[in-house]
A = this chain, B = another copy of it.
Amino acid sequence: MKKLLVVYLALIIAFLGYVYQSRAPFRMQNGQAEEGLRGSISEKYVMVTFQSGIDYWKNCLKGFEDAAQLLNVSVEFKGATQYDVNEEKTVLEQVIARKPSGIAISAINSEALGATIQKAVDAGIPVVLFDSGITASRVKTFLGTNNHNAGATAADKMAELLNRQGKTAIITQPNQSNHQERTQGFVEAIEATYPGMSVIAIEDGKGDQRETERIAVKLLQEHPDLTGIFATQANGGVGIGNALLQLGKKGTVKVIGFDTDKGTLDMVKNGTISATMAQGTWNMGYWSMQYLFHLNHGLVESGAASRGAAVSTLPVNTDTGITIVTEANVDGYYAK
């Protein structure tokens, strides 16, 4: 009887010991991590955006959540409801005050938010920037689209749609650097590779669907030989599509849009728009979480130890890729 009690006790101790060593994060055995990369559910990572209601962020957040699930940590999504830098600043300050385990920020405006982002860095909170970049910041890690490449990819697709011949135009937001890069990438690719094509106008759509429609109508009336229009902003494709419908030019003028909001996808599906450029939004979210987790757990420093603060401890720029969405693959892009 006593013997059995001893066995019984030994077994309980072994069990508890097993539970303990298998739950402690990053416990090593024979040089291998006992548990793999695994955090604690009490770690909270926050994604901060602007215009937080738009479809665009859904897939970013999905990637962020998917990584969090695998890493056994928690996430939260916060954002300015409007395209308003002061609102985003306020949201970001509230998030910083709660000292989360990490923040992935898509910043409207690099200068206006720089000081607030610096506050997070100074408080020791891991920060990465995704989607929209920031300059003059101590944050060295950015994940997002190479917009120059995205513009060039759109130009190649336009050339394919137009059999390498014809006049094209761009409707863009000339005051935003990512839109400037898309425009430049498109123009340079046309000039470098397609002698039969030209870009005859670059117009300001002011980020507004109605304004883009108005400008597209004007362009198409003034230039009856215009055969292709590239919109660099998300609602531009729908604006141009509506202009085509208004003028009865659906199908005769080729339109390439940007991003994958529902309106654009619907017009790709029904053939009003030929294609739209999908950014690697899931990748932005997924790898933002991975990078933040690595910063928070000090897992990036083993290669950089003793090298001083100048060392980049994470990749500085992660190009999350671009994909062309057409009628053939549009169904996979609707937000779930």
Contact = CB atoms under 8 A, between A and B. Distances in A.
A35 B33 contact: no
A184 interface: no
A12 interface: yes
Nearest to A32: B72
Interface stretch (A18-26, A161-169, A208-216): A18-26
A63 interface: yes
Interface of A: 1, 4, 7-8, 11-12, 14-15, 18-19, 22, 26, 28, 31-33, 35-39, 41, 59, 62-63, 66, 69-72, 140, 143, 146, 280-283, 286-287, 290, 299-300, 302-308, 310-312, 314-324, 328-329, 331-333
A324 B303 contact: no
A57 to B, nearest CB: 13
Contacts of A314: 283, 321
A303 B318 contact: no
B41 A312 contact: no
B308 A315 contact: no
A-B residue pairs, 7 tightest by C-beta: A36-B38, A282-B303, A312-B321, A307-B332, A317-B319, A37-B37, A306-B332
A199 B316 CA distance: 28
The number of times this chain is found in the oligomer is 2
Nearest to A37: B37
Given A4-B4, A15-B15, A331 B319 contact: no
A320 B283 CA distance: 17
A320 B140 CA distance: 11
A203 B143 CA distance: 36
A328 B312 contact: no
A171 to B, nearest CB: 25
Given A37-B36, A323-B310, A303 B283 contact: yes
Contacts of A18: 15, 18-19
A320 B71 CA distance: 23
Given A11-B15, A18-B19, A70 B318 contact: no
Q: Which of A26, A36, A69, A290 has the most CB of B within 10 A?
A: A36
Nearest to A301: B282
